[in-house]
Homo-oligomer: A and B are copies of this chain.
Amino acid sequence: MFLGTFEHTLDAKGRLAIPAKLRNSLGEKAVLTRSPDRCLVLYPMDEWNRLAQQLSQLSQADRNARDLQYFIFGGASECEIDAQGRIIVPAMLRNYASIDGDVVSVGMNTHIVIWSQAAWAERETRVNGDIDNIAAQLVGLF
């Protein structure tokens, strides 16, 4: 169970420390990949396996399915958490999510989402004040 928002940094070697409170629910290994909205997603292995299996079962004949597989599998990286609780974020993923330096990690219950500080701030201001309307469109949940 991943909860909370954490601001921290990614160092010059591309290493990212996973906040201790998020790390607890993560095993020693995890899979990092990209999300369509220009941020990264970190899955614990069991959650990743579920996703990977569903994705693999899509028909190879469907072009959209293949494109999505390229996006997810091709953008993925199996991460081991080192002795300091860090993972290595490949240059390609750093680039995709415009991450250099300040980072925001968000626990999303089943997985962790990683944003560049700048993109996160932008998102916050966009959504702020509008959350009433957004929630209103999803009545029935509460």
Residue numbers of A with Cβ under 8 A of B are 1-5, 21, 31, 33, 36-37, 51-52, 54-56, 58, 64-65, 67-71, 73-78, 90, 92, 106-110, 113, 123, 127, 130-132, 134-135, 137-138, 141-142
Contact = CB atoms under 8 A, between A and B. Distances in A.
A5 B107 contact: no
Number of copies: 2
B56 A134 contact: no
Prevailing SS type, chain A contact patch: mixed
A89 to B, nearest CB: 12
A43 to B, nearest CB: 11
A93 to B, nearest CB: 9
A46 to B, nearest CB: 14
